[in-house]
Amino acid sequence: MTSLDQIIDDFSFLDEWEDRYRYVIELGKSLPEMPEALRTSENKVQGCASQVWLVTHTAGDPGNPVLTFEGESDAHIVRGLVAIALAIYSGKHASEIARLDALEVFGKIGLIEHLSAQRANGLRSMVRRIKSEAEVRLAA
């Protein structure tokens, strides 16, 4: 998976929005395919116009575990947004995830203002779901 620093760096070299959208799609293509068995209603992110599934894995200290995520979408651009969200959050401690604001990162690279209202709402739903997963693990 592409690192967040690499994604931010790559975006800084792409001037045209058409090129940036192509890059987002390429990021989505780099995501490992989610097994069909994990594409369940429990793993589906509510509030997305496209279908988005998210699976959370935990490791380490039960009080503040490291969370890793698998994600998938049936839409090319959304799959790329999933890849960016996973680059932001996956592999971090639950406490760090609870504090991180992915929407700030999406704003920094200039994506938020170029997303349709539906995609932006879906992105917010995915971020809420990831942060909720972290908060549940911290409260356990």
Active site residues: 48
Whether 38 and 55 have beta carbons less than 8 Å apart is answered as: yes
Sheet of strand 66-73, all strands in order from the earlier edge strand to the far edge: 52-59, 66-73, 92-93
Count the neighbouring beta carbons within 10 Å of the beta carbon of residue 6: 12
